[in-house]
Each structure stands twice: as structure tokens, then as C-alpha cells.
Amino acid sequence: MINVAHELKKARANGYAIGAFNTANLEVTKAICSAASKADFPILIQTTPGAIEYAGLKQLFDIITDEIKSSGAKAGIHLDHAHDFLTVKQAIDIGYSSVMFDGSKYPYEENILMTEKVVDYAHKFGVSVEAEVGIIGREEGGRLSGKAVYSGPPEVVKFVEETGVDSIAISVGNEHGAPEGEKLDLSLLERISNVVEIPLVMHGASGLSHGDIRHAMGIGVAKFNIDTNIRKAFTSALESSDETDYRVAMEDAMAHVEKVVLQYIKLFRGA
């Protein structure tokens, strides 16, 4: 298992990024691990609380750790968008390498206090912590939600200093669900990057142009989260399949996911 804080720091210092790919089942996990092992480049495999609810914490954790081992992928397991301490604690206790506490729905000061508690607990076990300042927009019918709250540079600085987080997710035009028209405010991103040394995290990366991703990698973004494009690759392959043997249909869907993940790893690894 990789040391997540160390890998992210190294990525930011060297202008490349770690892809964090969402999974909720065996097949997508296999496809992600196979891509990472072929590319021989570090990645994160991440699960949301929703994925955990779907598959079960232990089942999903066991699938991911077994696949990482058997594929030889350089990977860590990350908890994505946890909204409460208990979910974070359960993930750390079972062996996750990294967690995100997403307190973006709470008032700023409360987000700081809750994140501090997560950092105190996680760091005792060498687990890396990501948090969020501002609000990353959510998809609404494939359009920009307009409900995002962009991250302000002074708020990010104070948050990072007071909580001691290892990486910070920012809202600079990125939205979840690959809505049409998703575009980064690169000058805001640069202002944040100039005042914060820790690795920056870009959620909602499925809808970003490769140009925006490359630019962001050059100014401090060391982790990109990809979920929607994995879901699309998997489900569209299944939808267009005529196979009655689901194992054959799934093999094809896995090949599609692997291809998408490999393309992203090549992009994140840089020149």
C-alpha cells in the first residue's frame, strides 16, 4: 500500500498527479488495478459512503486490498466524501490508507473543528487526511448546478494551518457529474496554489478538458477524482452488449473501464 501523504507531496513537487478512481464492486476494482499495474504508476482507489452502503465496508475493503495485492498495482485505498466522524473512524480502523472528511455543508468554523478531530485520529494511525473548503458543485441534470461556493485563498490558508490536513479539495469551477460547460477558474486556482503548499485536490475531474487538467497539474493539483467517466464506460458497455452470460458482458465492460483509467493515468503522469 502506498504512503498517500508522501506520494501526493511528491506529485505536487514534481508537477504530476495521482488519479483517484471510484469503485463500488469487484469488476471496476479489477479494471482499475489492471490499468495501474500496466502503467506501473501510483493511484488511489476510492469508495464513497454510498459505495460502502452498496457493497459493505468489509467486503469492499477485502476486494480492493486483494486486487491491489494480486495485480501488483501501486495503490492506496481512500475514503471519498465522508460526512461524519464515525464513517471516517470505521474506514481507518479497517485499514484505509487515506480519508476525506467533507465538512463543506457545515459552516466554515464548524468544518475546521470537525476536520481537526479527524486529523487527530487519522494521524495516530499514519492515515492521510483530505478536507474541503468551499462547496464543489453537484450535477443537476447534466447542467452546471450553479450552487458551488468557490474556495477563497485566505479561507484555504487558515483552514490548512488550523487543521493540519495533508491535502485540500478546492472549488474553482469543478463540478461533480461532468456537467456541460465545466471549466476551471485557473487564475483563482493559481492564487490558491501560491499561498498553500500542501497538495491540492480536484474533484469532479470527469468533465474537465485535458488542457485544464494539464494546467492544474502545473500549479499544485496533485490528485484528480474520476467517477462519472468510469460509470459511463462500465454501463454503456453493458447496455450495448447482447451477451446472455454476464461474465462475458462484464469482461467487456471491465476492458472499457481499464482503457479509460489508463488514458487518465497517462495524462496525470505528464511528459
Give residues in contact with Zn ion (CB under 5 A): 203
Is 12 a binding residue for ligand G3H by CB under 6 A? The answer is: no
Q: Name the E strands within 71-181.
A: 75-82, 98-101, 128-133, 167-170
The least distance separating ligand G3H from the CB of residue 7, rounded to whole angstroms, comes to: 18
**Nearest of 106, 114, 23 to residue 66 by alpha carbon:** 23
Structural contact between residues 211 and 184, judged by C-beta atoms closer than 8 angstroms: no
The residues facing 83 across adjacent strands are none
Q: Please, are residues 98 and 77 in contact by the beta-carbon 8 Å criterion?
A: yes
| Of the candidate residues 24, 51, 205, 249, the single one contacting ligand G3H (CB under 6 A) | 205
3-state secondary structure of 185: coil
Stretch that binds ligand G3H, among 25-33, 34-42, 226-234, 247-255 (CB under 6 A): 226-234
Q: Kindly report the CA angle at 168 between 79 and 68, in degrees rounded to 5?
A: 35
User: Binding string to ligand G3H for residues 14 to 43, with x set by CB under 6 A, is what?
Assistant: --------x---------------------
65 touches ligand G3H by CB under 6 A: no
* 97 is an interface residue for ligand G3H by CB under 6 A: no
Partner whose binding site includes residue 134, from Zn ion, ligand G3H, none (CB under 5 to 8 Å by kind): none
- Give strand pairing partners of 18: 223
Q: Does 78 participate in binding ligand G3H (rule CB under 6 A)?
A: no
| 80 catalytic per annotation | yes
- Which SS3 state, helix, strand or coil, does residue 79 take? strand
Least distance in angstroms from the C-beta of 248 to ligand G3H: 27
Question: Please, is 217 exposed, middle or buried when counting C-beta atoms within 10 Å of its C-beta (0-12, 13-18, 19+)?
Answer: buried
Select the binding partner of residue 152 from ligand G3H, Zn ion, none (C-beta < 5 to 8 A, by kind). Answer: none
Q: Is 258 in the site for ligand G3H (CB under 6 A)?
A: no
Q: How far is CA 137 from CA 115, 149, 173, in A?
A: 20, 8, 8
Q: Which does 220 bind (CB under 5 to 8 A by kind): ligand G3H, Zn ion, none?
A: none
Shortest distance in whole angstroms from residue 182 CB to ligand G3H: 8
Catalytic residue from among 80, 102, 166, 227: 80
What is the nearest approach in angstroms of Zn ion to the Cβ of residue 165? 16
- Binding residues (CB under 6 A) for ligand G3H: these are 22, 80-81, 176-178, 203-207, 225-228
